[in-house]
Amino acid sequence: MKSNQITNIVASSILLAAVLASPVLAQSRTMASAPRVAANQVEQVSALMPASSVTLEMDDAMVASSSSCCGDAGCVECAGVCSAPCWNECDQWFVNGWLEQGFTGNPNADGGLIGPAGTNGPLIFNDQANEYMLNQLYLSFGREVSQDACTWDIGGRVDVLYGTDYYFIQSTGLETYDDNSQKWNSGNGPRDGGDAALYGLALPQFYVEANVPWGNGLNLKAGHFYTIMGYESVMAPENFFYSHSYMMQYGEPFTHTGILGSYPTSSCMTWYGGITRGWNTFEQPNGQVGFLGGFRWESPNEATKLSFTLHTGSEDPTGENNRTTYSLVFQQRINQCWTYVMEHNLGTEEYARLTTTSELATANWYGISNYLYYTVNPCLDLGARLEWFDDRDNARVFGLANDNIASGGNYYEFTLGANYHPASWFILRPEARWDYSDLSAPGINGAYDNGTSKNQFTIGFDLITMF
């Protein structure tokens, strides 16, 4: 790494630490106006509730009554899972994290051509087949910002991730150079055609946040942060399933660098808007900026939630071809046991596809995912996910956006899973997943088993230990 890059990163870290440690910021706030995140939970990054919190979002009354609706609770000690520790209600400073470890069994893995024991085709995060994976050793620390509309407040957050998931959330200009080569992680290993290691370190978030006493209270965030698009999250405890949807993997960004503001116009409606350097970039090579915005609405009883987010900007090296994508997420708590979530995603990019007449044209992709959750008791939830992702121009999953050689591009997946959480610091997530794709190209007769199969069946699980 060049000396000036090291100097910039060190200087930025010192500046952020100075802001977080300022004694002015340690003044107490009115607790009624400053909601907190429980110690065993993480900050919510999606516009709706985290997928893993189907049960935990319920208040104590709902948890207590779940046994009458869902059968014998079976473990009374789990009823206190939702209780927030006193220190987190009394202090805006936080330090938390988790360890995620997993395994995905695949009888039709590609035989180790890419990974040590084969890969799971286009699945990422749990991409290695028949092999133990330490997905995330995650640490987050910082200072939460008061949401009091009448006072100024400044805080921030730094997230550090070590594990196999590092590779998929790297940002250009931070963890990698413009040519996708590694900066501080090893350049030898099973990923990126042998140019990236299986394990590495990533900095998915580091930002300064401010509460501005204007109107109902304006929140401003500046730095490097997770996207607000979509339903699923990079952070493992925020998801119900171990594996991820195609839309999350290929249809939406993971991180942004820029400035993002949020403003509540009522207790039910919040608006978002900001400027970014694009998809998964710390330094945008083309010098352009993009727009990220949307809204989140929830009913007064929080049973119904709706969010819409959009990002638009140029992502190509020349900065001349616009890429626009949006995500629409609808969530409905049907009763104390059942919850339904639907996400729709659509994206388009100019001059990203080669037609049969050898002209550059627009590439499109879209999809829909359905999630259904059932609370058995305070310790156990069951879930199902059914998804169709249409990468009809083959620009996103395999990058074969050439009408002369590739056809198909539909991806379907059906996943059944469970969340077992007998204690607030422990989650076990087993799942069974079936995938199908009609992708076809010269030498490729499917998206799985090294391009030889149109379908794939996997059984996996992971353990999340919070601290």
Report pLDDT digits (tens) over 340-390.
999 999 999 999 999 999 999 999 999 999 999 999 999 999 999 999 999
Q: Bridge partners of 256?
A: 225
CB burial of 358-393 (b: ≥16 within 10 Å; e: otherwise) equals eeeeebbbbbbbebebbbbbbbbbbbbbebbbbbeb
How far, in whole angstroms, is CA 160 from its chain's centroid? 15
Q: How many CB atoms lie within 10 A of CB 187?
A: 12
pTM higher than 0.85, yes or no?
A: no
Could you tell me the CA-to-CA distances from 419 to 39, 54, 78, 412 in Å, in that order? 19, 10, 13, 23
Residue type, 98: W
* Separation between Cα atoms, residue 32 and residue 386, nearest integer Å: 40
* pLDDT value of residue 149: 87
Output the pLDDT for position 118: 72
CA gap 304, 334 in Å, rounded:
9
Instruction: Find where tokens 């699980």 sit.
Output: 461
Q: Which residues of the chain have pLDDT under 70?
A: 1-90, 110-117
Tokens of 167: 């590779």
The structure tokens listed for 113 are: 């051509």
Other Cβ atoms within 10 Å of 457 Cβ, number: 14
Query: What is the gyration radius of the CA atoms in the chain, in angstroms?
Result: 22
Residues 63, 80: Cα–Cα separation, whole Å: 9
Amino acid at 147: Q
CA distance 371 to 385: 5
**Residue 382 near residue 401 (C-beta atoms within 8 A):** no
Give the pLDDT confidence score for residue 191 in this predicted structure.
86
Q: For the chain, give the secondary structure using H, E and C.
A: CCHHHHHHHHHHHHHHHHHHHCHHHHCCCCHHHCCCCCCCCCCCCCCCCCHHHCCCCCCHHHHHHHHHHHCCCCCHHHHHCCCCCHHHHHCCEEEEEEEEEEEEECCCCCCCCCCECEECCCCCCCCECCCEEEEEEEEEEEECCCCCCCCCEEEEEEEEEEEHHHHHHCCECCCECCCCCECCCCCCCCEHHHCECCCEEEEEEEEEEEEECCCCCEEEEEEEEECCCCCCCCCHHHCCCCCCCHHHHHHCCCEEEEEEEEEECCCCEEEEEEEECCCCECCCCCCCCEEEEEEEEECCCCCEEEEEEEEEEECCCCCCCEEEEEEEEEEEECCCCEEEEEEEEEEEEEEEEECCCCCEEEEEEEEEEEEEEEEEECCEEEEEEEEEEECCCCCCCCCCCECCCCECCEEEEEEEEEEEEEECCEEEEEEEEEEEECCEECCECCCECCCCECEEEEEEEEEEEEC
Q: Assess contact for 204 and 255: CB atoms under 8 A.
A: yes
**pLDDT of 27:** 39
